[in-house]
Amino acid sequence: MISFEENTIHKWKIEVDIMNSNPSYNRMSKNKATVQFQDIQDEYEESHRLKTVRLMVKQNEKYIGLVDYCLENPSDKLPWISLFVIHADKQGAGISTKVYRQLEQLIKQQGKDNLRLAVHKENEKAVVFWTKMGFTKFKEVTLAGKLHDCLEKELIR
């Protein structure tokens, strides 16, 4: 069973473990293979400023992933997923799809009809995943000097 739990700074060691199981993602997003406490602290500060919801993903009683999203992005007033990371040990077994579908239901229950995200253009595996989830590209942007595809999906209730 997949469930979500509030992610607090007190769970930083779990977050570091999940993030560091994905060194290629860390290199894309942070320009280094591993993250440490200060990286997590910086994320918390940014998410507080942007009013982002930070969730831990659990499968049964084990933490397996991280999801951050905001219901109203300041730039366009639409909901955006800002982080979606599943522990490397759990990838390739359909768990990411289950987690996303549950997240989509959560966002729809909050009255939202659309969802957006930005994915590193070089992260081909993620682009394929999000396309399979029904997202389509609506623009390309450069964030922190790196190309990203901005994707969106209409949420059907």
Amino acid at site 64:
I
- What average pLDDT does the segment 21-30 reach? 94
Rounded distance between C-alpha atoms, residue 130 and residue 60, angstroms: 24
Give SS3 for 153. Answer: strand
Q: For 69-96, what is each residue's pLDDT tens digit?
A: 999 998 899 999 999 999 999 998 899 9
The confidence score (pLDDT) of residue 92 equals 86
- pLDDT value of position 137: 97
For the chain, the average pLDDT equals 95
- Residue 151 scores a pLDDT above 90: yes
Segment 113-145, tens digit of pLDDT: 999 999 999 999 999 999 999 999 999 999 888
Q: What's the mean pLDDT in 2-27?
A: 96
- Chain centroid to Cα 44, Å, comes to 14
pTM for this entry = 0.94
> What's CA 157's distance to the chain center, in Å?
22
pLDDT at 105: 96
Residue 157 has pLDDT above 80, yes or no: no
Domain layout of the chain by residue ranges:
2-154
CA distances from 111 to 41, 43, 103 (A): 30, 26, 13
Range 52-66 average pLDDT: 96
Give the pLDDT of residue 144.
85
Give the pLDDT mean for 98-115. 96
Q: Which CATH architecture has domain 2-154?
A: 3-Layer(aba) Sandwich (3.40)
